Amino acid sequence: MTKNCNSLLYQRLKAKGFRPTHVAEIGVWHPQTSNIYQYIQDSIKTTLVEPDPNSIVLIKSQFADYKNVTLYECALCDFNGRVELCQRESSTFVSSLSSSPALVNDDCNIEQAEKFTAEARLFSEIDDGTIDLLSVDTEGSEWFVIKHMTSRPAVISIETHGGIYVNPYLDKLQQWMNDNNYKIWYKDKSDSVFVLSGTISVSLIDKIRLFYSNLTIVYRAGKKRLGKIIGKLYGSIVSKPSVHQESRKSI
């Protein structure tokens, strides 16, 4: 999660003439990296969800005077209770997940010091049914947000890919989108943005851009895989004792 305040999502929606009345972001990290930061600045009704205590402090400090912002200090899951999370740099993810960007792209080994527990809630308990723009970046748990969503936003942005990472619930997410009349609008380095049919038109130029985005994503994934293979081969060569070293051991 490393977006910047000049959000591509904001700019593209502005170009389409779309102005939401209720925006929500699940997995904020830092205020300035928020995918909906400009909408907060524009005084649009905002729902934020973030479980990491350090990020919560920053969010509260940044938006303390914003009456349009409601912050829920929890993780959205498939159950109510407590959940163990891991915080690694800009990634906060459920520690029991088999796949997240940090685990797949960076071979992250979860350390005890990175773990913390947070309240786990269903999105249906938070969603009031009026959200028309939703951004979800929960490092692999996005499906549990969508699964329990009450609203049917015009726009849904979800982290689905990045490097060699593919969202572990991508099939379920795509099926839900199909079943609920959503279509893909565009993709960036990590997110897929879906729009509800009849709300935002997907032009021919949008479709051409999506085609090239898909090619770029495949290229970057291939490059990342090749880099990891080369790194492993180099590591094995470096760690293997040389003939000279073996001869010295035998003396």
C-alpha–C-alpha distance, residues 196 and 182, integer Å: 4
What pLDDT shows up at residue 240?
60
What pLDDT shows up at residue 87?
78
What pLDDT shows up at residue 106?
55
What pLDDT shows up at residue 251?
43
What pLDDT shows up at residue 227?
74
Residue 1 maps to a domain: no
Q: Tell whether 91 and 149 lie within a shared domain.
A: yes
Q: Tell whether 114 and 217 lie within a shared domain.
A: no
Phi, psi of 130 (to 5 degrees): -110, 5
Q: Which residues of the chain have pLDDT under 70?
A: 1-6, 89-90, 95-111, 113, 228, 231-232, 234-236, 238-251
According to DSSP, the β-strands at 161-162 and 133-136 are unpaired
Tokens of 32: 């300035």
What pLDDT shows up at residue 250?
47
Instruction: Count the domains in the chain.
Output: 2
Model confidence pLDDT, tens digit, residues 171-188: 999 999 999 999 999 999
Q: Tell whether 236 and 192 lie within a shared domain.
A: no
Which domain-ending residue is among 178, 202, 226?
Answer: 202
Q: Tell whether 170 and 146 lie within a shared domain.
A: yes
Q: Tell whether 181 and 225 lie within a shared domain.
A: no
DSSP code for 198: T
Is residue 150 within 8 A of residue 127, CB to CB? The reply is yes
Q: Which residue has the tokens 């993709």?
A: 187
In the chain, what is the straight-line distance between the N-terminal and C-terminal CA atoms, in Å? 54
Tokens of 72: 């829920």
Residue 195 maps to a domain: yes
Predicted TM-score (pTM) of this structure: 0.84
Q: Tell whether 178 and 243 lie within a shared domain.
A: no
What pLDDT shows up at residue 5?
46
C-alpha–C-alpha distance, residues 146 and 58, integer Å: 26
Q: Tell whether 93 and 215 lie within a shared domain.
A: no
Q: Tell whether 187 and 232 lie within a shared domain.
A: no
Strand extents, DSSP E, 89-190: 91-94, 115-121, 133-136, 155-159, 161-162, 165-166, 182-187
Q: Tell whether 163 and 57 lie within a shared domain.
A: yes
Is residue 18 within 8 A of residue 38, CB to CB? The reply is no
What pLDDT shows up at residue 196?
98
Residue 169 maps to a domain: yes
* Domain interval for residue 141: 8-202
Q: The domain that contains 170 carries what CATH number?
A: 3.40.50.150
Residue 137 maps to a domain: yes
Phi, psi of 174 (to 5 degrees): -65, -40
